[in-house]
Structure 1
Amino acid sequence: MKKQNNALEILRTSLLLGLTSFGGPAAHIGYFRDEYVKKKKWLDDKMYADIVALCQFLPGPASSQVGIAIGLMRGGLLGGIFSWIGFTLPSVLLLMAFAWLISSTATFDIGWIKGLKIVAVAVVAHALVGMSKSLTPDLPRITVALVAAVLTLLIPTAVGQIAIIVGAGFIGYAIYRKEKAPKPESIDLSFGKRTGVAAWTIFLLLLIIVPAIRSFIENTFIAIFDIFYRVGSIVFGGGHVVLPMLEREVVPAGWMDAETFIAGYGAAQAVPGPLFTLSGYLGQLMNGPSGAAVAVIAMFLPSFLLVIGTLPFWSAIRSKPGIQAALKGVNAAVVGILLAALYDPVFTSSIGHPADFGIAIIAFGLLMYYKMAPWLVVFITAALGALSHLLIG
């Protein structure tokens, strides 16, 4: 891949993707391949596949990390920043506007908002079906997923979910460690291992120091940064999995109620870009535009640091069979966590009437069998929610 430090070109390309990439992480990966590999020819398929593998290995939003990694390879650190800005800014602004609307009306009796809550059931169920096919293809991984789901429901805390993910990694290592790992591609970068080590150091220091500062200093911005940085640092499996972790951080603490949270998640399905931009909606409700800015930066900062820290070492890491084996267990646990989230908080906060479940079934059918674009399904479900509100109340 030719190295050109053209940050404006990266910003332009990623902004176009940020405005048009509907459909979630799997769709984003397809959009990126069409743009970066087939159209722009910034890298070839082998290199692209290796970047995708890296971003699936790391916690955080995989599609955003793929964009960041390509930006880093194309234009250095500035290229990575511009790539992230272009891809995430459109949906952040849209979700902040939606949060402002919610806080202004201060009501959830509006029918279309009811539809946004219902569509979350269909979207999470659809994501669960798709992820289970690739991440739990055999009985051992199905078992890990089912156990993880039960434990997530019984231990509904962020710490509990971390323990489940770590435990699943050990199980994956025990079962699959003898399987051969594929040979990785070498990656050409404008920064080296020293920068990588510095990024990992900053990542770990923030993960340790910020919660300690928060325990001594009562400050809204420190609290928001702590919540979103911590969740962004430990979420495996993409945007759908961030739902239960964020819900357990902001709802029990009184930042907002469950209905407000789920409405934002539904709205996030109607906008392009990564689901992690839900942080813009939540931050706006927690402390206005400044709260949204802190939440979004904190949510994505771990992704930046982890990609910068890991890229220089990825070829060596990827070749280790033990790493690949552990990832198989972790990814199976992700499916289980998502299954638990489908019930609580998604279903319990969204379905209050048989008609609600009927609308959710229609939305799921449109996604699963009619292959309709998720953003279109969101608008249809919002309209059905409004109709249901008029007819039933």
Structure 2
Amino acid sequence: MTEPREPKSALAIFLLFLRLGLTSFGGPVAHLGFFHNEFVKRRQWLSDQAYGEVVALCQMLPGPASSQVGLTVGYLRGGYPGAVAAWVGFTLPAALIMALFASGLALWPEASAGGWVVGLKLFVIAVVAQAVWQMAGNLCPDRPRRTIAVLVAAFLLFAGSVWMQALALIVAGVAGVCLSLPSDKTGGDLGVAIRTRKPLVFFAVFAVLLVLAFLPWQAGSFAAIAAELYRAGALVFGGGHVVLPWLEEGFVGSGAMSADTFLAGYGVAQAMPGPLFSFSAFLGGVEGGWPGALVAVLAVFLPGSLLVFAGLPLWQYVRSHSLARSALAGVNAGVVGLLISALYDPVWVSGVTSPASVGFALIVWIALALWRVPVWLLAMLSGLVGMWVF
């Protein structure tokens, strides 16, 4: 197999991904559709099989899958400069908007207590409920995996700290191996040659930074912001929605910000194009202004990027071993349980305060799941209606 021909300049890759970052609404699943249309059908940078291999690898790694796919496409087309250009272009628009939103709240703190925030919180309930429904259908197709998901959810509702979440996912992976859970095996080769000889170096950097992220840092410092976001990016399987309970524990549970502010930012992030992990710019911006936003964005995306570069040469091994695939199937089922627990706390308990709020959340969910109203439009409508109703 050979590398894609006609390597592109970093500037060309940046401009292409900037356009995608400005127009790719709808979350990670929609992003993968945009990428397939752009890079497989339109430009023919990758074959269907090669693109499927890239997606499968990124789905098995912690971090934001759609951003990792974009990073990989940029790397395969333009090397490391192409990878950086792809990530910056795709992430920059949403990150800037979220940082601006954080600056606005700093100038007008009372804005986070208005009725529009209530509407956004109820919108988040509908979004997370829909994510649970879709992910359960894809990741828990049989009784053993549904059982794992329910048990993880029940366990985390009893003891939902970050450490317990990591432990629950590890146990779910062990259960997957013990139960020999079935997992689809992809066929053929990636379709492109990966010429890096540095997978162990990238993994070593990832591991060292993860150890440093668990050290005690001064609250509110840039190091503490970076550590919190790096942990989330390194340990979250399943993408943007699953990062919610991890970040809530670190920023709301620690008292760094109120639950209202946190969920308002999360609701606005749903309306943005590009990766949902750009929510990190809001969190860092609230705590540390523009420098904090930059630190937060770099920290949350860094671990997934390091694992992509470490994982590409090792992908052939992982995809060909049934035990590894069974463990990943168990972890994916555990991720569904993690999201179920997050749907209750903090999302439900923070947003639902009356029968009217339950009714509003149901209407939003119907609009999202049955009427297929675009997520970005529904977020804006929820905020506007919340101003009048609540």
Q: TM-score interval w.r.t. the shorter chain?
A: over 0.9
Task: Give the secondary structure class of the aligned counterpart of 1:330.
Answer: helix
Contact 2:50 2:192 in 1 (8 A): no
Counting only pairs closer than 5 Å after superposition, residues 249-260 of structure 1 correspond to structure 2 as 249-260=250-261
Amino acid paired to 1:140: P
TM-score of the aligned structures, taking structure 1 as reference length: 0.95
Distance 1:300 1:335 in 2: 22
Aligned to 1:173: 177
Contact 2:7 2:78 in 1 (8 A): yes
> CA offset at residue 229 of structure 1?
0.6
Aligned to 1:155: 159
> CA offset at residue 317 of structure 1?
1.7
Distance 1:224 1:184 in 2: 42
Amino acid paired to 1:376: L
Match of 1:112 among 109, 116, 119: 116
Contact 2:183 2:329 in 1 (8 A): no
Per-residue CA deviations over 1:323-347 (Å, capped at 9, x if unaligned) read: 1111111111111110111110001
Aligned to 1:330: 331
Distance 2:190 2:56 in 1: 13
Distance 1:48 1:190 in 2: 14
When residues 134 and 78 of structure 1 are mapped into structure 2, their CA distance, relative to the original with a 3 A threshold, is same
1:369 to 2:370 alignment? yes
Per-residue CA deviations over 1:324-381 (Å, capped at 9, x if unaligned) read: 1111111111111101111100011112222222221111001110111111111121
Distance 1:189 1:159 in 2: 38
Match of 2:99 among 86, 96, 118: 96
1:131 to 2:135 alignment? yes
When residues 363 and 320 of structure 1 are mapped into structure 2, their CA distance, relative to the original with a 3 A threshold, is same
Counting only pairs closer than 5 Å after superposition, residues 1-393 of structure 1 correspond to structure 2 as 1-107=4-110, 108-176=112-180, 181-189=185-193, 191-192=195-196, 194-212=197-215, 214-215=216-217, 220-389=221-390
Distance 2:168 2:35 in 1: 32
Per-residue CA deviations over 1:170-221 (Å, capped at 9, x if unaligned) read: 11112226777333423534642x3211111100011113433x45x67701
Task: Give the secondary structure class of the aligned counterpart of 1:240.
Answer: coil
Greater displacement, 311-320 / 85-94: 311-320
Per-residue CA deviations over 1:94-143 (Å, capped at 9, x if unaligned) read: 11111122222212332222211211000001111111111011000000
When residues 68 and 265 of structure 1 are mapped into structure 2, their CA distance, relative to the original with a 3 A threshold, is same
When residues 293 and 319 of structure 1 are mapped into structure 2, their CA distance, relative to the original with a 3 A threshold, is same
Amino acid paired to 1:247: E
Distance 2:88 2:154 in 1: 38
Q: CA RMSD in A?
A: 1.6
> CA offset at residue 316 of structure 1?
2.1
Distance 2:160 2:183 in 1: 33
Structure 2 gap ranges (5+): none
Amino acid paired to 1:293: L
> CA offset at residue 322 of structure 1?
1.0
When residues 222 and 261 of structure 1 are mapped into structure 2, their CA distance, relative to the original with a 3 A threshold, is same
Contact 2:63 2:235 in 1 (8 A): yes
Task: Give the secondary structure class of the aligned counterpart of 2:160.
Answer: coil
Greater displacement, 333-342 / 7-16: 7-16
Structure 1 gap ranges (5+): none
Amino acid paired to 2:290: P
Distance 1:124 1:346 in 2: 8
TM-score of the aligned structures, taking structure 2 as reference length: 0.95
Distance 2:183 2:369 in 1: 33
Percent of pairs with identical residues: 42
Contact 1:225 1:295 in 2 (8 A): yes
Amino acid paired to 2:365: F
